[in-house]
Structure 1
Amino acid sequence: MEEGKPGAVAKVIRRNPKSGQREFGDLVWGLLPYKTERPTTAVRPIHARAETVQELPMFADAFRSRRAIVPATEYYVRTETDGRAQRYVVTRADGKPMAWAGLWESFVWPGDRVERSYCVITVEANATIAPYHDRMPLILKPEDWPVWLGEAPGDPAILLRMVDPDVIRCEPVAQRRGNR
């Protein structure tokens, strides 16, 4: 599977439910809840909206107890003007990796094969991204990681917000590395 595409495996930070320790794991992009009755035909969302993640049955249990951090160096948005497509690359302004808020699940297939999967939580686009797209990944601040992962007391719901516009930058791909 192609990297960065639904179904691809990525390194995701999660809190191990047995040890309570933070760990990197290889998880499949596309959430497969542990209670899924028909896993081969189930919808496997890659995103969850911050506005509904606490209430929707697909995400609510994972939000309460299986939150994750998805490391990312960049992502792309695309717009079309006068019939011409333009891609933009989004990165942190300081050059550091982003930490996207995510949810994870652990599904046990017949034969006891365990598949861990994840999705990324999205929020309304901030002022930097809004000219190009209406949604963006929820980017966590490093100081929020312990609350998000459940390592420290606090309400993770207060972290369901867009990042300040000056934390990220959005540049045309052609200016940065040649048009792809």
Structure 2
Amino acid sequence: MPGRLFLTASLSGVADFLGVDATGVAPDPPRFNMAPGEQVLTCPPDRTLTQMRWGMIPVGRVNARGRPVMETIVNARSETVFSKSAFDGVTRALVPANGWYEWTGEKRKKTAWRIARRDGRLLAFAAIFDVWNGPGGVRLPQVATVTCPPSGDVKHIHDRMGVLLDPDQFPIWLGDDTEAAASLMRPYPDGSLLVETATGVDWTAP
């Protein structure tokens, strides 16, 4: 649902895929292991490209004592993303990637899986974002990917997957019509994704 992301396409390739202008955006080197808490390339509704922290501290959410909740949400469930109070006031966005990783098996004996489009094209994860205002005037743009039940391609490795969007759906997801955007939160078509064991990546499995 994604546990880690990878983005190896060039900045110009990402910009062409998303239909945005990347002028003035500093390119990243290929990133083979993007973990929650790190900066990820994000496309908000103004169709720019910017870096945001992957993982949201819900803005304005407090516990029974009135203290801010500091729990970080990396993946937001499609079933509740438009109704849960933790997501009040968030804005929709896209997170581009070449694919993502999942793990199966017991601790210390996990198998890592690499998931990408079968045709090698980029993926766009449906996401939500806002800006967290921290102590001392800190302002932190933060993003969470949106998940849904798995497609037939990935259900054998996880019971959730990221909501994946095609270019003709980008304007709907980034637009103002919440009902239309909600209709996009469904599993990606079966047969579109390639799932294979991942080797040669430097990581510590979550």
Same fold at TM > 0.5: yes
CA distance in 2, matches of 1:50, 1:153: 12
Q: Could you report, residue by residue, the CA deviation over 1:75-108 in whole angstroms, capped at 9, with x for unpaired residues?
A: 1122228x95322110011111110000001122
Amino acid at match of 2:76: A
With normalisation by structure 1, the TM-score equals 0.81
C-alpha contact (below 8 Å) 2:58/2:70 kept by paired residues = no
SS at match of 1:33: coil
Query: Please, which of 197, 200, 206 is the counterpart of residue 172 of structure 1?
Result: 197
Q: Percent identity?
A: 26
Q: Structure 1 residue 152: deviation in Å?
A: 7.8
CA distance in 2, matches of 1:80, 1:92: 24
Give the aligned length.
Answer: 167
In structure 1, the gaps of 5 or more residues are 16-20
User: Within the alignment, does 1:61 sit opposite 2:86 as a pair?
Assistant: no
User: Within the alignment, does 1:34 sit opposite 2:64 as a pair?
Assistant: no
Aligned residue number for residue 18 of structure 1: none
CA distance in 2, matches of 1:53, 1:154: 12
Q: Could you report, residue by residue, the CA deviation over 1:15-58 in whole angstroms, capped at 9, with x for unpaired residues?
A: 2xxxxx3111110111123324656x611100011111111111
- Higher strand share goes to which structure? 1
Task: Please say which of residues 104-113 and 90-99 is displaced more in the overlay.
Answer: 104-113
SS at match of 2:102: strand
With normalisation by structure 2, the TM-score equals 0.72
Amino acid at match of 1:143: D
RMSD: 2.6
Greater than 4 Å deviation, 4+ residue runs = 36-39, 151-154, 177-180
